[in-house]
Structure 1
Amino acid sequence: MADSHAIVMSGPDQGKGLSRITRCFNGRLLYACGLIALSQVNFGMDQGAFNGTQAMDAFIRKFGAPNERTGQYELETYYLSLLNSLTYIGFAFGLVTGNYISRRWGRKKCMFIMCAWAIVGAIVLLTSHTKQQMLAGRIVAYVYIGMELALVPVLQSELTPAPLGQLIQSLICRATSELEGDKSWRIPLGLFFIIPTIIACGVWFVDESPRWLLIKGREEEARASLQALRQGKFSQAQIDAELEEQKASLAMDAEKGNLKEIFSGTNLKRTLIVIGVNVFLQLTGQNFSTVYGTTFIKSIGTINPFTMNSVNIAVNITMVLVTQLLTDITGRVPLMAAGAALQTAVLFTMGGLGTVTPETTAVGTGIVAMLTVFGAGFQLGWAPLSHVVAAEIPTTRLRDATYALGSVFNIAIQFAVSFSIPYLLRDEYAGLRSKVGFIFGSTAFCAFLFSLFCIPECGGKTLEEIDELFVERVPIRKFGKTRPRHMPQQADDVKKGGESVQVEQA
């Protein structure tokens, strides 16, 4: 009986954290991963820039209008809503085109095109003088973000968390917020040129993906690329074995599942888990904090919003690092449940503080503090772990289709939430202000229940083991303590409709 395939190629003891890098990464691989990881920083810079600039007085005077009731300039509700929701049109377009370009012309060329597009978006944003041009620039810039999501491997996201870029931009926004005139917001947006330019120049020194070269039938080039990426850290036999594993994996992937299959048998449960994870990732109010946080803090008027935004992002980065350390110890489900529970408590507290009249300085400070703790709860569980869960739950044949369906729900919910928040906050509409915490607190509580009862604990298990546990219909809450019965001696299984079909070894 053939041995089961391992997900990670055999090699030196990989360890955890920094030891994994020193044991498995040679110089070329470290350069490649580091360069690609910069795009994650650029994503964070985009979020950090617009979270801050849309609260700057100069930006508001440029693209806003006087409020008839207060006489002060503000971004009109419809415009603030569109500014932060229409971006997902560009995001969806980038997701599709990035995937197509990556498969058709290769990872390196896709990375270069992605960066060139980002520079175009930066030019449109930096030269904006009208509301329409700023909206167009936002949409164009988010095409880059969508292409990045289609291209950048999950490993890169783990090595360089996106909040790093948010911290950089938040500090820049804090420094420029007191400058006179349009330079207060043009300087942060102008920095969008830097990282795409670095990546566009450096990507030509990155080895092309061996897997893509194999897909195109260029086996010798794939062997040379893999050799360059593994040399000095793995033996020749291990490198050859990995190449053969990739070829075998591609042969199995040649028969992709269809949309109907993801709703058949035990695959239906897996599909619903992936959809649920994507939905609750957005429904717990993270856009309220990351997109509108600075604007909301400014409306309260108790603390400098730009300083507080920098503090919030620094706390978020700390929590991401804590989560990375705890995941191997506690597993994913406890962290996701704990994060959702903390978000629930904080959001209901925020909503409760919003009912206090009159709103004193102490109450306003308490509301701002709750926003900080909310971010910590989000980064403790759902922010770093939801994408991992969504990627590992589907069976191999149906992973692309299932993950794509989950992404559709993710984008749709992000659009709806981002569009709705200004109308929920502003006095001339719902006027909920911090009482919006009651809405997001309710969905966060649903996310807490979903974490406990609907997400299986898959930490420490290979994708094949996860497949078998679903096929054996192991209850969700017993996943973590159950070891597959057939893994030590099983042959390769091809999962169709959630059922196991034995395939003899050639």
Structure 2
Amino acid sequence: MEKPEAINVESVCEEGGTLHKIGSDEMWTRTALNAVARDYDQEEKTMPVMQAIRHYKKAIFWSLVISMCVIMEGFDTNLLGNFYAYPSFQRRYGDPVPVTPQTPTGYSIPASWQSGLGQGSGVGSIFGTLINGWLVAAFGPKKVVFSTLCVMSCFLFIVFFAPNKEVLLVGEILLGFEWGIFATTAPAYASEVLPLQLRVYFTSWTNMCFIIGQFISGGVLRGLVSRQDQWGYRIPFAIQWFWPSFLIPLIWFAPESPYHLVRKGKLGDAERALRRLQSASMDSKRSLAQIVFTDNLEKKLSVGTSYRDCFRGVERRRTEIAMVVFGGQLVCGLCFAYASTYFFQQVGLDTEAAYSLGVGANGLALFACFANWFLLMPYFGRRTVYIVGMAAMTIELCLIGILNVWTDKPAVAWTQAILTLVWTFTFQLSAGQLGWALPAEIGSTRLRQKTVCLARNVSNILGVICGTLENYFMNPTAWNLKGYTGFIWGGCAFIVFVWAYFRLPETKGRTFDELDTLFAKRVPARKFASTDVDVFDEEENDHLAVQYTPK
């Protein structure tokens, strides 16, 4: 390997320079750097999954820890959506209404307040997500997550002691700020500390954490549904203090993202972080060389680091894909499914049956996530799974709408409920997992955090809009559409299906530098899987730099 003997230079990894610093004490020529990066690229692409697991056990552990923060978001969002049919919550925060099969307690949360409370955390998440793009770029994901956990522990007191709907709404907005930070930091961190073979599993693990949170909250609600006093709804709020109690000390010891440290020019720290993420048999300098090469390639292609750069040149296409993939989760029926307990009650099922089905739906969603990991991801591309899943959900939602014509028959109501569970299974097999994984893969490394933040904010904004509409669709004192809501979300799912067929590229088996080159070449989405690229061709890269540079 070609190395200069004794060279003393101050600047490292500068565009156009001939030397690159690797670690804290070595200088390699550009040729040597590219050769090491090329070898590491090939090794990463051919490494078996089990070998990757052995070499990256520590990275897997820290990725799981960071992502576990999202369990709290899944717990909280599922909590509020299903509190509307919860007897003790209805009596505390609801308005008096006539006793009917849909309102057996004589109290109901008005549709306007369902929208306000349900979307309060979404509104807070919009601002938290937006600011997180700057916070992580400045301080790194580890420090941001640690500080956010500490602040969130304080805000939990507001929702726990809320005396009325107004204070509860304020607490949900403030907590939403933290949810936005957790949900966008976790998948980006996972994509930066894990190799190609494990990337899709642990970026989508964020979604599984979301499901685990929903599953836990569903079980807690089912266990307390018969409790009539204030602790029926306060205990679920209090359980959220459990997570910070062990996550805060754990994250204090987590390694920083090596990509963040390279972007900050802290290559010695990046090498030390890699040693903490990989097994002792791995050469951290080779891993670092590949990260430096990718960062240099993106500098050559004029990839910036600001939110504005996400919408310039070819980056605009990458941002569009991340946004639509993440936003597609909401418009294909997610708000409908999140309020499944309320839907079950509105089509005539009793409260205990509705909450039992709600727990079943969360368990089925978790099972679907593992089925996605072991039965789909190893054998099928991301594009194929997403497109087929979106088509299947379109059909399932429309069937729910068609059956609503006979909803007065108990057997039909149960059939609609079962189709809702089938939709949940299909969603988590496809868009539920990939909606989190693809945005973390699609963005360039220099813009990854901001790309994920923008995509998540599209999801947040659509969540507020769709969640508000869903409350009016389902509320018996508002539009009372019941199962006919399936036609609306089925139509939206069909639109996303058409978009995905023409615009969603295949990212399976592609390293980050290969994705940079494919986007720079403006390869059509349907040809991503079949196009060969040589990311180490300097002449081609120089040519692409001219083409790629935003005008």
Same fold (TM over 0.5): yes
Residue 346 of structure 1 aligns to which amino acid in structure 2?
E
Deviations 1:432-459 (A, max 9, x none): 1110111001111122222222212222
Following TM superposition, by how much is the alpha carbon of 1:133 offset from its aligned partner in structure 2, in angstroms?
1.3
Question: Which residue of 1 is the match for residue 142 of structure 2?
Answer: 108
Q: Which of 52, 76, 95 is the matching residue for 1:20?
A: 52
Following TM superposition, by how much is the alpha carbon of 1:57 offset from its aligned partner in structure 2, in angstroms?
0.3
CA contact (8 A) 2:505 2:528 kept: yes
Q: Does residue 282 of structure 2 align to residue 240 of structure 1? A: no
In 1: Cα distance, 2:257 partner to 2:312 partner: 33
In 1: Cα distance, 2:308 partner to 2:261 partner: 30
- The CA RMSD over aligned residues, in Å, is 3.0
Deviations 1:234-281 (A, max 9, x none): 1xxx21222344345455666643667655665554444333323322
Comparing 269-278 and 314-323, the one that deviates more: 269-278
Residue 286 of structure 2 aligns to which amino acid in structure 1?
A
Following TM superposition, by how much is the alpha carbon of 1:214 offset from its aligned partner in structure 2, in angstroms?
4.5
In 2: Cα distance, 1:346 partner to 1:31 partner: 37
In 2: Cα distance, 1:209 partner to 1:97 partner: 19
In 2: Cα distance, 1:52 partner to 1:79 partner: 14
CA contact (8 A) 2:140 2:256 kept: yes
Q: Equivalent residue of 1:180, what SS?
A: coil
Following TM superposition, by how much is the alpha carbon of 1:306 offset from its aligned partner in structure 2, in angstroms?
1.4
CA contact (8 A) 2:133 2:450 kept: no
1:199-278 maps to which residues of 2 (within 5 A)? Answer: 199-234=247-282, 238-250=283-295, 256-257=303-304, 266-278=314-326
Question: Which residue of 2 is the match for residue 65 of structure 1?
Answer: 95
Q: Which of 245, 252, 264 is the matching residue for 1:197?
A: 245
In 1: Cα distance, 2:387 partner to 2:378 partner: 16
In 2: Cα distance, 1:108 partner to 1:275 partner: 25
Q: Equivalent residue of 1:59, what SS?
A: helix
Q: Which of 348, 365, 368 is the matching residue for 2:398?
A: 348
Deviations 1:175-229 (A, max 9, x none): 1111231211111111100111211122223234444445555444443333233
Question: Which residue of 1 is the match for residue 235 of structure 2?
Answer: 187
In 2: Cα distance, 1:494 partner to 1:88 partner: 43
Indicate how the Cα distance of structure 1 residues 210 and 478 shifts in structure 2: closer, same or farther if over 3 A, else same: closer
Indicate how the Cα distance of structure 1 residues 500 and 30 shifts in structure 2: closer, same or farther if over 3 A, else same: closer
Q: Does residue 179 of structure 2 align to residue 145 of structure 1? A: yes
Indicate how the Cα distance of structure 1 residues 33 and 333 shifts in structure 2: closer, same or farther if over 3 A, else same: closer
Comparing 195-204 and 255-264, the one that deviates more: 255-264
Following TM superposition, by how much is the alpha carbon of 1:38 offset from its aligned partner in structure 2, in angstroms?
1.9
In 2: Cα distance, 1:22 partner to 1:101 partner: 32
In 2: Cα distance, 1:201 partner to 1:165 partner: 20
CA contact (8 A) 1:106 1:212 kept: yes
In 2: Cα distance, 1:253 partner to 1:373 partner: 42
CA contact (8 A) 2:381 2:506 kept: yes
Comparing 57-66 and 37-46, the one that deviates more: 37-46
Following TM superposition, by how much is the alpha carbon of 1:68 offset from its aligned partner in structure 2, in angstroms?
5.3
Residue 285 of structure 1 aligns to which amino acid in structure 2?
G
CA contact (8 A) 1:107 1:209 kept: yes
Question: Which residue of 1 is the match for residue 366 of structure 2?
Answer: 317
Q: Does residue 387 of structure 2 align to residue 337 of structure 1? A: yes
In 1: Cα distance, 2:309 partner to 2:263 partner: 24
CA contact (8 A) 2:129 2:453 kept: no
Comparing 422-431 and 470-479, the one that deviates more: 470-479
Residue 373 of structure 2 aligns to which amino acid in structure 1?
Q
Indicate how the Cα distance of structure 1 residues 471 and 436 shifts in structure 2: closer, same or farther if over 3 A, else same: same
CA contact (8 A) 1:40 1:157 kept: no
In 1: Cα distance, 2:273 partner to 2:442 partner: 30
Deviations 1:34-93 (A, max 9, x none): 322321322222233233333210001101001258582111110001111122221122
Deviations 1:332-386 (A, max 9, x none): 12211221122111111111111226x1111111111111011111112111112
Following TM superposition, by how much is the alpha carbon of 1:31 offset from its aligned partner in structure 2, in angstroms?
4.2
Following TM superposition, by how much is the alpha carbon of 1:136 offset from its aligned partner in structure 2, in angstroms?
1.3
Question: Which residue of 2 is the match for residue 35 of structure 1?
Answer: 65
In 2: Cα distance, 1:390 partner to 1:128 partner: 36
Following TM superposition, by how much is the alpha carbon of 1:8 offset from its aligned partner in structure 2, in angstroms?
6.0
Question: Which residue of 2 is the match for residue 504 of structure 1?
Answer: none
Question: Which residue of 2 is the match for residue 434 of structure 1?
Answer: 483
Residue 277 of structure 2 aligns to which amino acid in structure 1?
L
Residue 308 of structure 1 aligns to which amino acid in structure 2?
L
CA contact (8 A) 1:425 1:431 kept: yes
Q: Does residue 538 of structure 2 align to residue 493 of structure 1? A: no
Question: Which residue of 1 is the match for residue 345 of structure 2?
Answer: 298
Q: Which of 448, 455, 459 is the matching residue for 2:504?
A: 455
1:338-487 maps to which residues of 2 (within 5 A)? Answer: 338-356=388-406, 359-395=408-444, 399=448, 402-484=451-533, 486-487=534-535
Indicate how the Cα distance of structure 1 residues 470 and 152 shifts in structure 2: closer, same or farther if over 3 A, else same: closer
CA contact (8 A) 1:12 1:23 kept: no
Following TM superposition, by how much is the alpha carbon of 1:331 offset from its aligned partner in structure 2, in angstroms?
0.8
Comparing 126-135 and 400-409, the one that deviates more: 400-409
Q: Which of 151, 154, 163 is the matching residue for 1:129?
A: 163
Residue 418 of structure 1 aligns to which amino acid in structure 2?
G
Indicate how the Cα distance of structure 1 residues 66 and 412 shifts in structure 2: closer, same or farther if over 3 A, else same: same
Residue 67 of structure 2 aligns to which amino acid in structure 1?
A
Comparing 106-115 and 211-220, the one that deviates more: 211-220
CA contact (8 A) 2:505 2:526 kept: yes
When normalised by structure 1's length, the TM-score is 0.87
In 2: Cα distance, 1:125 partner to 1:88 partner: 15
CA contact (8 A) 2:45 2:509 kept: no
Following TM superposition, by how much is the alpha carbon of 1:402 offset from its aligned partner in structure 2, in angstroms?
4.7
Deviations 1:8-29 (A, max 9, x none): 695797422x653233224xx4
Residue 158 of structure 1 aligns to which amino acid in structure 2?
S
Q: Which runs of 5+ in 2 are unaligned?
A: 1-30, 191-201
Deviations 1:270-303 (A, max 9, x none): 444333323322111102212x121221222325
CA contact (8 A) 1:395 1:495 kept: no
In 2: Cα distance, 1:400 partner to 1:143 partner: 16
Residue 501 of structure 2 aligns to which amino acid in structure 1?
L
In 1: Cα distance, 2:409 partner to 2:491 partner: 26
Following TM superposition, by how much is the alpha carbon of 1:100 offset from its aligned partner in structure 2, in angstroms?
3.6
When normalised by structure 2's length, the TM-score is 0.80
